[in-house]
Every structure is written in C-alpha cells, then in structure tokens.
Amino acid sequence: MTRYPDSIAAAVEHEIVIKKSRFIAHAIPARSVPDADAAIAGIRTQYWDARHNCTAMITGVRGNQARSSDDGEPSGTAGMPMLEVLRRRGLTDLVVVVTRYFGGVKLGAGGLVRAYSSAVSEALDRAAIIHRRELVAVSVEVPHTDAGRYENLMRDWATRHDAVMDETGYGARGALLGVRVSPELLDRFDADLAAASAGLVAARRGEVSVIDVPAG
C-alpha cells in the first residue's frame, strides 16, 4: 500500500515564553506554495512589529516541496529546525510561522533551535491530523427497491474494512451506490458483494484518488 504524508485539518496557534521572549507559532494548512506564501504574508501583516517571523513549509501530496526561512535569526537556528519537526512528523501541505518578540535575553544558537522547534512541536500537538490514503472509487447500481439493503451492506463493509462511503445517487434506472476502497481490498469487496447478492450484482471500478481521512 502506498503511503502518503499526513496533513492538518485546520489552523492552530500556540505561544511559549522562554527567557522573556515570546514565540507565537501558527500552523496553517496550505496545499500549494502560493497558499503558503499568502498565509505567511497574513501573519507578517498581523505581527508587523515583531523582530522575526520565521517560516517552514512542506507542500505536495508526497511532500516533495519544502522551504524555510530564518528571517534574520542566525543561520540554521529557526527555519531548518522548524522544517525538521514537520519532516519528523511526516506532514505535508502546511506552513508554520513562528513569530518572536525579543525579551532582551539572548538564547544562543542551541537555545534558539530548541525554542523554535518546541514552539512548532507544541502547536502541532494541538492540531487535528488528517491521513492521506490512496483509494479506488467503486460503484454499484441496484434497483430502487433494493437500495436500502445494499447501502446498509456496503456501509457495514466500509466500516469493517476502513473504506469511505460516497453519496448515493438516484436515477431512472436505479440507485448508484459508491464506496472508496483500498486497492489491496478490491478483490475482497467484489467477492463479498457477489456472496451477498448471489452473484446478481457486480461493482464497477473507477478512478484512483488520494483523499483526506480524519485521524481516529
């Protein structure tokens, strides 16, 4: 089974204070570099008076685009440590911005790395995670009179096999039931459908897509 990086469902904010310096972390969903840039611009406008707005982003379904900025902090003490937190957690399609208001006490390179990493890590601890999964769309057409029975059968199957139900469509010929199934379970679905319908109903396989599934 192909595995994809996770992402976050919604923006989160978290603040820590270290030796009187405030570190305000924002983690924001961003499905493209322009989305991430827009989020960064918004944070910089909001915190225009801060000394630093350091950033890290990873985008792309496979997490193949990454970028970071120290925004005036000593090189390697902010952006890259923030980016490493994202990589260790296996995340993509998000940007993190940590705003620092200097408190008058220097932290040193090691202290800055720990502060920026901790701000991002603690913010992500508060985020709702979504998983990315590769699923195949499967459709089943049945008479209107049988729609309820087969929808219940498919919904039960989806629950037991971690599949995702689509909305049911109704046409002149009958009801069109849809479910998204992991590629490795397609044959199992076909066999279970054939057994439940005594071979009278067969499924049609459609497109393969990567979809977001809430964790838990």
For position 1, what pLDDT does the model report?
A: 58
For position 72, what pLDDT does the model report?
A: 94
HSE toward the beta carbon, residue 202, CA cutoff 13 A: 3
Residue 5 near residue 62 (C-beta atoms within 8 A): yes
What phi and psi values does residue 178 have, to the nearest 5 degrees? -130, 145
For position 171, what pLDDT does the model report?
A: 85
CA distance 6 to 133: 9
Tens of pLDDT along the chain (216 residues)?
578 899 999 999 999 999 999 999 999 999 999 999 999 999 999 999 999 999 999 999 899 999 999 999 999 999 999 999 999 999 999 999 999 999 989 999 999 999 999 999 999 999 999 998 899 999 999 999 999 999 999 999 999 998 999 999 988 888 999 999 999 999 999 999 999 999 999 999 999 888 887 776
The residues near 188 (Cβ < 8 Å, ≥ 6 apart) are 161
Q: What does 131-198 look like in DSSP terms, one character per residue? A: EEEEEEEEEEEE-GGGHHHHHHHHHHHHHHTT-EEPPPEE-SS-EEEEEEE-GGGHHHHHHHHHHHTT
For position 210, what pLDDT does the model report?
A: 86
Q: Where do we find the tokens 């910089």?
A: 44
Residue 186 near residue 205 (C-beta atoms within 8 A): yes
Whole-structure pTM value: 0.80
What tens digit of pLDDT does each residue of 188-205 get?
999 999 999 999 999 999
For position 216, what pLDDT does the model report?
A: 60
Residue 9 near residue 29 (C-beta atoms within 8 A): yes
Nearest C-alpha neighbor of 4 from the set 93, 95, 137, 133: 133
Q: At what angle do helices 186-196 and 147-160 cross, to 10 degrees?
A: 140
For position 214, what pLDDT does the model report?
A: 76
